[in-house]
Structure 1
Amino acid sequence: MLSTGVSREHILFLRQSKVKSLGEIGEFFQSNGTEEVELVPVSKIKGLNRGTPGFSWLDHAEMIAGNLSPSSFQSFQQRLEETSLESFREWLKSESFLETNDVVTFNYYAECDEYYAYEGNHRTLWAKLVDAKYIKAKVNKYHYNSAKHSNYKKKL
């Protein structure tokens, strides 16, 4: 990645930063039922639907963790190699990016201010790898539901 212009500092960050999972607290949130296209701040993306919590973003890129397809991963690597780093970052937030394969979709948990990839795990990972500021995607918004939380506690 250094050859494409990604900084050493960012690569170190990717090695240290771990993919998260909402775990059981995700059960305490409820969707408002709408999807909106947004520019998602990549810095607020914390997890992958097909990722392994506790492993780094770089572990996922190296196929040490997660359930990602090497061929899909490599197709985006090839795209990056055929263009510049800045062009790749711009593509991630463009209208044409939305038309690539399936639409990237995130679940956004408002009270946590965190996004978790639901669809588009490879493209999300690439956004993290190249230190993109934004990725254009559909977003499902979830809000804390105290009644669901109370019901969960009663079952314990």
Structure 2
Amino acid sequence: MDLGPISDIFVSPMITESWARAVECLVTNYTYKKLGENLNNYRSNEQWWAINKRNQKVAEGYSKNYTPIFIDLVDDYNQYSQEDDKEYPNDNVTGFSLSELRGILRITFNLKDLKRNVKALRNNTDIHNKIDKLFETYEKAK
């Protein structure tokens, strides 16, 4: 993805914009969590962000470029099971770090590349199945 000024030609806007959303969300959450309990109920704030700020619904009328795909790979919040609306991604994937995901950006140009590269980070059939399930929503929205 690091092709300088020509990267816009080769890299899907879904990858670039979703990566920007992930950095914004996860670094903000990390910073506020680090400041301590004075910001009470961090978990609720994270869920508010998930529902209201991350545009996690992947449906008609929502920009398909601003997805939480990278956030879903890191966090442990499955909005699919928490919300009545089943247009949210079924996210049972967790445990990837921003650093790991940043490492695969140079070889990730589209959603298909992202899925393949994320799977390559873990040699586990169960995790691969969860990744497949997570990506279903995004693949339908393309």
Is TM > 0.5 for Structure 1 vs Structure 2? no
Q: Which has the higher helix share?
A: 2
Point out the structure with max Rg over C-alpha: 1
Report the TM-score, using the length of structure 1 for normalisation: 0.30
Greater relative contact order (Cα 8 A, min sep 6): structure 1 or 2? 1
Report the TM-score, using the length of structure 2 for normalisation: 0.32
Q: Which has the higher strand share?
A: 1
